[in-house]
Structure 1
């Protein structure tokens, strides 16, 4: 199905029977992108309308936007808006939790549209470190790297730095990434983080991001690259054009 999706995205063609591929009906180009799309998605997830939420996100992707742009411009702003509503008491806890489930399901649906990476594609490992139970940001990073041609492996959330170090040493990935949405005790966290960075294999570079990342504490090494958003991460993690093309050809 990935070749069909690629054809539609490149030419902005329309599916006549998207249901035959297990896809929702598209809403058309007027529904893609911008503040309107964010507001529509925010309202849909608040109301628990998973089908409409999936259509809005899928429209943006099938319209030709890469996943980093879809996440940065549509999904993440809507997700943050729902979180702010919950913090202000404008949305119930169950609505915020349900929204997270809807977003997670939409991300899963996007993943199945991507071609699998080549078996010999470079590996990227990552997840959320200790104390950080937020999983949506990590899932988005995982998909952005997969789309870029990496064999991305999402390790999970709330992972102690000790086990992250074991993963890095065992797999020796060219790329490791951390999504930081929450930091507990700062002194303990950043001390363990520094130990993790210093113990990375010489061939491994680290990409970090998230609203809890502190540049003063976290960007102490030249091996650490901070990514302010997913589009930045996509640029920093871009594979050479020849490698990416070869990966796509082998996956197909």
Structure 2
């Protein structure tokens, strides 16, 4: 490729070229990983014979231009997640936050976009459950690092409480909702995932939140869930705004559920939360 060894090391550090750790602690680049990198960056090898059969044309190209848009950022972040490269993920996510000092941007444009890709890859068999679950753990730790930059809610901030329902094994989405709402000025608290809705109802009656959210990523039995959710919604105090969202909220499920508002993304959620604050202050 006519580039320096330091450039190759830097690409590996950033996750642009996936590597495999050897027993001795060294990094090894597979032919498949290198070939994918060459295709993605429109580069070719100057001496492919050294790879033992790599048959791309022998042409020396100038280094590919550096792409700094969000899609490239998401791609690099996703690759790093799948490699378990937490250091690269941390660098990307903090850089994304510093662009606009906005956690909502990080949640919507980087974390959600990347985890959606990882989920699709897992469903199609291109990655395994360990990579998917460990990727969630890395994201969870990193968003908690960013949480320290979110201003604490005022003493009179309205309360919002939420969870992921029974059978939903994903804690990250409902945690992201909490932090997005906190950034918009709410006193938001996530009760975690796999939460019985009856328990959630008891919490609502005890603490009297203004908003309740249910983040729905996976559902074990749709019929059972619809009945439980609608029973939960029916028993909520009338003044409580019930917000539903998540990956499982598709065109089949949405019409079957009773809720106050549905949000497809965190920008819609932030807009709703801000509008409620404005009406409250008016």
Q: Cα offset for 1:73?
A: 1.4
In the alignment, the residues of structure 1 paired with residue 107 and residue 67 of structure 2 have an alpha-carbon distance, to the nearest angstrom, of: 16
In the alignment, the residues of structure 2 paired with residue 225 and residue 122 of structure 1 have an alpha-carbon distance, to the nearest angstrom, of: 17
In the alignment, the residues of structure 1 paired with residue 141 and residue 114 of structure 2 have an alpha-carbon distance, to the nearest angstrom, of: 15
In the alignment, the residues of structure 2 paired with residue 153 and residue 114 of structure 1 have an alpha-carbon distance, to the nearest angstrom, of: 14
Which residue matches 1:205? 241
**Superposition pairs of residues 20-39 of structure 1, within 5 angstroms:** 33-39=69-75
Q: Cα offset for 1:92?
A: 3.0
For 1:173, which of 203, 206, 209 is the aligned residue? 209
In the alignment, the residues of structure 2 paired with residue 49 and residue 240 of structure 1 have an alpha-carbon distance, to the nearest angstrom, of: 39
Q: Specify the structure having the higher radius of gyration (Cα).
A: 2
For 2:256, which of 217, 228, 237 is the aligned residue? 217
In the alignment, the residues of structure 2 paired with residue 175 and residue 66 of structure 1 have an alpha-carbon distance, to the nearest angstrom, of: 22
Could you say what secondary structure the match of 2:157 adopts?
A: coil
**Superposition pairs of residues 50-61 of structure 1, within 5 angstroms:** 50-61=86-97
In the alignment, the residues of structure 2 paired with residue 106 and residue 31 of structure 1 have an alpha-carbon distance, to the nearest angstrom, of: 24
Could you say what secondary structure the match of 1:60 adopts?
A: helix
Kindly provide the CA deviation profile for residues 120-175 of structure 1, in whole angstroms up to 9, marking residues without a partner as x.
21110001011112111111101000101111111111111111111111111111
Q: Contact 1:117–1:146 (CA<8 Å) still a contact in 2? A: yes
* Gap change, CA 1:144 and 1:111, over 3 Å in 2: same
Instruction: Report the TM-score, using the length of structure 1 for normalisation.
Output: 0.79
Could you say what secondary structure the match of 1:126 adopts?
A: strand
Kindly provide the CA deviation profile for residues 183-234 of structure 1, in whole angstroms up to 9, marking residues without a partner as x.
122221111111111111122111110121221111x35xx20001111011
**Superposition pairs of residues 103-252 of structure 1, within 5 angstroms:** 103-213=139-249, 214-218=253-257, 220=258, 224-238=260-274, 239-240=276-277
Aligned length: 212
Q: Say what the alpha-carbon RMSD is for the aligned residues.
A: 2.0
Q: Unpaired segments of 5 or more residues in structure 1?
A: 1-29, 245-252
* Gap change, CA 1:149 and 1:101, over 3 Å in 2: same
In the alignment, the residues of structure 2 paired with residue 32 and residue 152 of structure 1 have an alpha-carbon distance, to the nearest angstrom, of: 33
In the alignment, the residues of structure 1 paired with residue 68 and residue 178 of structure 2 have an alpha-carbon distance, to the nearest angstrom, of: 23
Instruction: Report the TM-score, using the length of structure 2 for normalisation.
Output: 0.71
* Gap change, CA 1:198 and 1:48, over 3 Å in 2: same
Which residue matches 1:26? none
* Gap change, CA 1:63 and 1:241, over 3 Å in 2: farther
State whether structure 2 residue 116 is matched by structure 1 residue 80. yes
